[in-house]
Amino acid sequence: MKINGKDYQALWQEGHIVQFIDQRKLPYSLEIYSARTVDDIVYAIKEMVVRGAPAIGAAAAYGMALGQNDPEKTATLLRATRPTAYDLFHAIEYMIQKIDLEENAFDAAASYAKTIITRCKKIGENGEKLITDSMRILTHCNAGALATIDYGTALAPLRFAHQNRKKIFVYADETRPRFQGLLTAWELYHEGILYALIADNAAGYYMRKKDIDLVIVGADRIAKNGDFANKIGTYEKAVIAKENDIPFYVAAPASTFDPNIRDGSHIIIEERARQEMTEIAGKSIMPDWITVKNPAFDITPQKYVTGYITESGISKK
Ligand code: MRU
pLDDT tens-place string over residues 17-71: 999 999 999 999 999 999 999 999 999 999 999 999 999 999 999 999 999 999 9
User: Same domain for 20 and 152?
Assistant: no
Domain boundary, last residue among 96, 120, 144: 120
* 242 Cα: distance to centroid of ligand 1 (angstroms): 22
User: Same domain for 137 and 249?
Assistant: yes
User: Same domain for 204 and 83?
Assistant: no
Report the Cα 114 to chain-centroid distance in Å: 16
* 280 Cα: distance to centroid of ligand 1 (angstroms): 19
> Is residue 91 classed as helix, strand or coil in its secondary structure?
helix
User: Same domain for 79 and 154?
Assistant: no
Q: What is the pLDDT of residues 201-249, one digit of tens each?
A: 999 999 999 999 999 999 999 999 999 999 999 999 999 999 999 999 9
Mean pLDDT of 277-301: 97
- Residue among 117, 113, 95 at smallest CA distance from 104: 95
Q: How many domains does the chain have?
A: 2
User: Same domain for 82 and 166?
Assistant: no
User: Same domain for 94 and 180?
Assistant: no
10 Å Cβ neighbour count for 239? Answer: 16
Best residue among 45, 200, 230 to mutate for probing ligand 1's pocket (most ligand atoms within 8 Å of CB) is: 230
CATH number assigned to the domain comprising residue 206: 3.40.50.10470
- Closest atom, ligand 1, to C-alpha of 85: 12
Whole-angstrom CA distances from 208 to 119, 133, 214, 302 are 34, 21, 13, 22
User: Same domain for 18 and 158?
Assistant: no
Task: Name the residue with the closest Cα to ligand 1, atom 8.
Answer: 231
Domain boundary, last residue among 51, 85, 120: 120
Q: Ligand 1: which residues within 6 Å by Cβ?
A: 51-54, 85, 141, 143, 147-148, 153, 180, 218-220, 230-231, 296
- Closest atom, ligand 1, to C-alpha of 229: 8
* 101 Cα: distance to centroid of ligand 1 (angstroms): 31
Q: What is the pLDDT of residues 103-150, one digit of tens each?
A: 999 999 999 999 999 999 999 999 999 999 999 999 999 999 999 999
- Closest atom, ligand 1, to C-alpha of 217: 10
* 187 Cα: distance to centroid of ligand 1 (angstroms): 15
Mean pLDDT of 83-100: 98
Q: What is the mean pLDDT of the chain?
A: 98
DSSP for 192-233, please give it: T-EEEEE-GGGHHHHHHTT---EEEE--SEE-TTS-EEEETT
Q: Are strands 17-21 and 32-35 parallel, antiparallel or unpaired?
A: antiparallel
10 Å Cβ neighbour count for 300? Answer: 25
Domain boundary, last residue among 73, 103, 120: 120
| C-alpha span between 190 and 170 (Å, rounded) | 14
* 270 Cα: distance to centroid of ligand 1 (angstroms): 12
- Going by pLDDT thresholds of 50, 70 and 90, the confidence category of residue 317 is low
- Closest atom, ligand 1, to C-alpha of 56: 4
Q: Are 256 and 86 in contact (CB under 8 A)?
A: yes
Mean pLDDT of 143-172: 98
Domain of 221, in residue numbers:
126-315
Using a CB cutoff of 8 Å and minimum separation of 24, what contacts does 3-8 make?
3/30, 3/190, 4/190, 8/145
Residues 6+ apart with CB under 8 A from 132: 166
**Please, is 160 exposed, middle or buried when counting C-beta atoms within 10 Å of its C-beta (0-12, 13-18, 19+)?**
buried
| C-alpha span between 302 and 317 (Å, rounded) | 8
| C-alpha span between 110 and 254 (Å, rounded) | 18
Best residue among 216, 220, 294, 311 to mutate for probing ligand 1's pocket (most ligand atoms within 8 Å of CB) is: 220
Which residues are marked as active site?
A: 220
User: Same domain for 160 and 304?
Assistant: yes
Geometric angle at alpha carbon 142, from 138 and 143, rounded to 5°: 85
Mean pLDDT of 268-295: 97
pLDDT, residue 57, reads 98
